[in-house]
Structures are given as C-alpha cells and as structure tokens.
Amino acid sequence: MNYRFENYINSAASHKQAFDSSIEGVRQSLHDSLNTTSDPIAASSSKTGWLKGSLSYPWVFVCSLVPSLKDLF
C-alpha cells in the first residue's frame, strides 16, 4: 500500500476516534444533567390581558405602530 494512503487512513481513524469520544462525552454530560434532581420552575404569573404567552407583546407593537406608519405614508 502507498505510504500516503496509509497515512490518510490512519489520520481518518484517529479523527473518527476523537469524534466518537467527544460525542460520548456530550452524551454522558446530557445524561448526567437529565438525571440531576432540581426544583421545578414556577410558571410566570404575569399577564397582559391580551393573548397568552409571548404572542401578547408583538400585538402591542403592531397595534401602536401600524396606525402611525399608515399616517406617514
């Protein structure tokens, strides 16, 4: 076999091994973080009286900016 070809194969094998070990490290840290017990996060009690959640805030901007933009043009 050609020496350069063997070098490519060995380099690819070492890079694959390094990638596999990094993936295993990520998998282990994710598994550890899922297994830790933590206090549940309380839901936010702030309400705007409009739509629920994050959809309520864009409507404030739309309802206030669209009429002013309409007057400009």
What pLDDT score was predicted for residue 52? 63
CA-based max dimension of the chain: 77
pTM for this structure? 0.43
41-to-15, 44, 45, 53 alpha-carbon distances in Å: 41, 9, 12, 16
pLDDT tens, 29-70? 988 888 876 666 666 656 555 556 666 666 677 777 777 777
What pLDDT score was predicted for residue 46? 60
Position 4: which residue type? Answer: R
pLDDT tens, 23-36? 999 999 988 888 87
